Amino acid sequence: MLPFGYAIRNLMRDPARLLQAVLGSGLVVLMVMIAAAINNGMVGVLSASGSAKNIILLGAGSEESVLRSEISDRTAGIAESSITGLEKQVDVRAVSPEIHQMSFIAIDSNDRKQAFMRGVTPRALLVHQGVSVQAGHYVRPGQVMVGRLAWRRLGLPEEALQPGAEIWVEGTPMTIAGIFAAPGTVMESEIWMDLNDLRSMSLREHLSCVVLRLDTGEFEDIDLFTKQRLDLELAALRESDYFAKIAAFYAPIRGMTWMTALLIATGALLGGLNTLYAAFAPRIREIATLQAIGFGRRAILFSLVQESTITTLCGALVASFVAIGLLDGIAVSFSIGSFILSVSPSVAMAGLMTGLGLGLVGAIPPGLRCLLPPLPSALRSAG
Amino acid sequence: MNENNNVLIRCHELTKNYKKGNRLVTPLEKLDLEVKRGEFLALMGPSGSGKTTLLNLIAGIDQPSEGVLEVCGEDIGKLSRSKLARWRAAHVGYIFQLYHLVPVLTAFENVELPLLLSNMSRRDRRERVEHTLSLVGLDGRMHHYPKELSGGQEQRVAIARALVASPELLVADEPTGDLDREAADSVLQLLHQLVEEYDKTIVMVTHDPRAAERAGRLLHLEKGRLLETEAG
Ligand SMILES: Nc1ncnc2c1ncn2[C@@H]1O[C@H](COP(=O)(O)OP(=O)(O)OP(=O)(O)O)[C@@H](O)[C@H]1O
Ligand SMILES: [Mg+2]
């Protein structure tokens, strides 16, 4: 085996090229880390948003979007009295009638943004148990309550959405009552207001959905209920299934982020191969000499792979620092919410693996181009 | 029997062809040659006569197209690539015209390379490398890089590298071709000493009649055939 120092000193032959190779592989690794972070974030927020104990009652035929669903106002009351096994707190059943809609909001009257609004009653807290009020208090009529990431989703300064501040919802000024957290879920990007306020503001007669929280009851009972009360035109969905469907809907987009990352990575890889070939090619004679001495091709290739792997792992290290510095904490918004990119262990691992893979695979084609020519002519080549 | 044992290199009807486009080039054709242990053989001949080709075959760098090629008791014409590499490590040291030292390694490290293929301890390797470098007169230059050495010194390092694993056979392709007269003389003196004192067998290609004079036996190659044999 060739000494490790041989690989290291070869790297130092051309520091400019080394730097170029480190940065190139760093770029590839960074791309992969970005794609991994986006995917993790999106899948994470969607899977955390749905609880298997929560059942959404929405309009038959609108199972894929609560925003498009309309159900009768009576649904909540009928469901509450007909369905057994719902969770109860101090004799109040976990039944939350809700309106979900996109509304225009503004902090001053000209800069309008589209926000995800949820009209709720105090019972919403019984079904959405991850929600807790962090500052101020729970929403009352005439007020709104903002998710702690709503400012990011809306592209507003954080100070704009503090308790006591005023925002305009569909042209009506409302006071922010509080800020709520719902860690890891899409709700954190929403704005909640009183159900009746939102209903009259949007001139709706109907609800979007009723969310129930099961205690001893089964999903099948509720499903049966919707089939018995055909007059209500309801469909029942587990909240977790609802978000799984949304996640499936976004799968092509996640695929696109991977594709983009892959394309950029491939381009950089090809450039990197060129760099490596340029680094190895002047050493054809030297590599042939090592073979003449008796080193096997495998031992020599191993040394070349060491060289490239050290380079790409340095690149991965640079990429990780850049990712931690620039990527970590960035909020990415998509239609139903936002999530925060984080350089999690799995993202870091994806980067590390990419770096390792680049080094292992990247050295092989240029390495073989140096190793495969017949020894007599390789020994004659200029070196 | 005894005589056969004394033969280190045996070529019989040794032929080497290369395909050049659709033409067949034959640098060596049906060449017969025997070299005994302890011989110092010089090969001369015009450019393109096949000297390097023959040397590469003998050193197991290249493989014959036809014929018998036995070196150090092995029929190396039929060895696989990886076996041939191991055979080279054990039996031959190759000395190049342009030294072919690894530029990122010191003289010491260059000479140590062949020993890395053995299972010698680090300490034994060090002893052996130091001994070999002092044999070629470079004890003071052990930790110099090739670019810090003169051509003659580089070639001595290269000779030490060829020598360090104690191969029976040394091959040298114009070892003095790039050296001035003084450096060339001392390299030749060294090769001569290796044959006389250390029982090495050397096959050396050269254009230099003065180098050929140093050898015990001189062969001329002409268009892939051995022309004449003289005593040196
Ligand atoms: N790989 C190869 N492919 C095709 N032809 C080759 C190859 N190697 C050598 N030859 C040819 O074989 C012939 C002999 O070459 P060789 O290198 O053995 O000559 P040489 O005697 O060493 O010459 P020089 O004194 O110039 O070094 C030449 O005509 C050369 O062109
Ligand atoms: Mg030649």
Domains and CATH numbers, chain B: 7-231 (3.40.50.300)
Please name which of A173, A176, A169 lies closest in space to residue A198, comparing C-alpha atoms: A169
Q: Rounded distance, CA A265 to CA B90, Å?
A: 45
Q: Which two tokens stand for residue B217?
A: 């036996």
Task: Give the structural domain span for A77.
Answer: 72-232
- Best probe of the B interface among A9, A284, A289, by most B CBs < 10 A, is A289
Q: What is the pTM of this model?
A: 0.82
Q: Rounded distance, CA A329 to CA B8, Å?
A: 73
Indicate if A76 and A41 belong to the same structural domain: no
Q: Which two tokens stand for residue A321?
A: 């620092």
Q: Which two tokens stand for residue A94?
A: 């976990």
Indicate if A87 and A225 belong to the same structural domain: yes
Indicate if A38 and A85 belong to the same structural domain: no
Asked if the structure places residue A265 within a domain, the reply is: yes
Q: Say what the pLDDT of residue B229 is.
A: 57
Given a cut of 70, whether residue A164 has pLDDT beyond it is: yes
Nearest CA in chain A to B102: A286
A285 shares contact with chain B (CB less than 8 Å): yes
Q: What is the DSSP string of A130-165?
A: T-EEEEE----TTEEEEETTHHHHHT--GGGGSTT-
Q: Rounded distance, CA A217 to CA A224, Å?
A: 12
Torsions phi, psi of B206, nearest 5?
-155, 155
CB within 8 A of A49, min separation 6: which ones?
A: A184, A185, A186, A187, A239, A243, A337
Please name which of A343, A228, A304, A226 lies closest in space to residue A6, comparing C-alpha atoms: A304
Q: What is the DSSP string of B35-88?
A: EETT-EEEEE--TTSSHHHHHHHHTTSS--SEEEEEETTEEGGG--HHHHHHHH
Asked if the structure places residue A137 within a domain, the reply is: yes
From residue B64, alpha-carbon distances to A20, A375, A381, B28, B77 in Å are 44, 13, 21, 9, 6
3-state secondary structure of A41: helix
Indicate if A208 and A84 belong to the same structural domain: yes
Asked if the structure places residue A290 within a domain, the reply is: yes
CB contact under 8 A, A293 and B94: yes
> How many Cβ atoms are within 10 Å of A150's Cβ, its own excluded?
30
Closest atom, ligand 1, to C-alpha of B45 = 21
The residue whose CA has the least distance to atom 22 of ligand 1 is B52
Q: Rounded distance, CA A339 to CA A38, Å?
A: 9
Question: For B7-32, how does the pLDDT look when each residue is reduced to its tens digit (9 = 90+)?
Answer: 999 999 999 999 988 999 999 999 99
Question: For A260-276, how does the pLDDT look when each residue is reduced to its tens digit (9 = 90+)?
Answer: 888 888 888 888 888 88
Indicate if A81 and A228 belong to the same structural domain: yes
Q: Rounded distance, CA A325 to CA B151, Å?
A: 52
Domain end among A200, A232, A264: A232
State in Å: Cα A321 to ligand 2 middle.
53
CB contact under 8 A, B116 and A374: no
Name the pLDDT band for B129 (thresholds 50, 70, 90). very high
CB contact under 8 A, A292 and B109: no
Asked if the structure places residue A210 within a domain, the reply is: yes
Domain end among A232, A263, A284: A232
Higher per-residue confidence, B90 vs A65: B90
Name the pLDDT band for B82 (thresholds 50, 70, 90). very high
Q: Say what the pLDDT of residue B4 is.
A: 60
Indicate if A268 and A217 belong to the same structural domain: no
- Mean pLDDT, rounded, for B195-202: 95
Indicate if A182 and A268 belong to the same structural domain: no
Q: Rounded distance, CA A359 to CA B115, Å?
A: 28
State in Å: Cα B205 to ligand 1 middle.
13
Given a cut of 60, whether residue B232 has pLDDT beyond it is: no
Indicate if A224 and A261 belong to the same structural domain: no
From residue B106, alpha-carbon distances to A150, A357, B172 in Å are 64, 32, 22
Nearest CA in chain A to B164: A293
Q: Which two tokens stand for residue A337?
A: 């919410």
Asked if the structure places residue A362 within a domain, the reply is: yes
**C-beta of residue A363 within 8 angstroms of C-beta of residue A308:** yes
Out of A189-198, A224-233, A330-339, B190-199, least confident range: A330-339
From residue A157, alpha-carbon distances to A109, A169, A189 in Å are 16, 17, 14
Question: For A274-301, how does the pLDDT look when each residue is reduced to its tens digit (9 = 90+)?
Answer: 888 888 888 999 999 999 999 999 999 9
Asked if the structure places residue A321 within a domain, the reply is: yes
Indicate if A211 and A270 belong to the same structural domain: no
Q: What is the DSSP string of A312-341?
A: HHHHHHHHHHHIIIIITT-EEEETTEEEE-
Indicate if A195 and A139 belong to the same structural domain: yes
Q: Which two tokens stand for residue A110?
A: 């000209």
Question: For A100-134, how does the pLDDT look when each residue is reduced to its tens digit (9 = 90+)?
Answer: 999 999 987 568 888 999 999 999 999 999 999 99
Question: For A298-357, how does the pLDDT look when each residue is reduced to its tens digit (9 = 90+)?
Answer: 999 999 999 999 999 999 999 999 999 998 888 887 777 788 888 999 999 999 999 999
Q: Say what the pLDDT of residue A332 is.
A: 83
Asked if the structure places residue A96 within a domain, the reply is: yes
Q: Rounded distance, CA A157 to CA B203, Å?
A: 83
Question: For B51-73, how does the pLDDT look when each residue is reduced to its tens digit (9 = 90+)?
Answer: 999 999 999 999 999 999 999 99
Question: For A52-106, how does the pLDDT look when each residue is reduced to its tens digit (9 = 90+)?
Answer: 899 999 999 887 788 889 999 999 999 999 998 999 888 899 999 999 999 999 9
Indicate if A178 and A268 belong to the same structural domain: no
Indicate if A30 and A169 belong to the same structural domain: no
CB contact under 8 A, B61 and A376: yes
Given a cut of 70, whether residue A374 has pLDDT beyond it is: yes
Q: Rounded distance, CA A75 to CA A204, Å?
A: 15
Domain end among A232, A265, A285: A232
Asked if the structure places residue A244 within a domain, the reply is: no
CB contact under 8 A, B96 and A376: no
From residue A75, alpha-carbon distances to A71, A78, A351, B20 in Å are 7, 5, 50, 88
Q: Which two tokens stand for residue A234?
A: 């309801």
Q: Say what the pLDDT of residue B1 is.
A: 43
Please name which of A64, A197, A175, A57 lies closest in space to residue A127, comparing C-alpha atoms: A57
- What is the total count of domains within chain A? 2
Q: Say what the pLDDT of residue A279 is.
A: 83
CB within 8 A of B118, min separation 6: which ones?
A: B89, B165
Average per-residue pLDDT in chain A?
90
Q: What is the DSSP letter of A216?
A: S
- Best probe of the B interface among A290, A291, A293, by most B CBs < 10 A, is A293
Nearest CA in chain B to A372: B81
**C-beta of residue A7 within 8 angstroms of C-beta of residue A306:** yes
- Mean pLDDT, rounded, for B204-217: 92
Name the pLDDT band for B2 (thresholds 50, 70, 90). very low
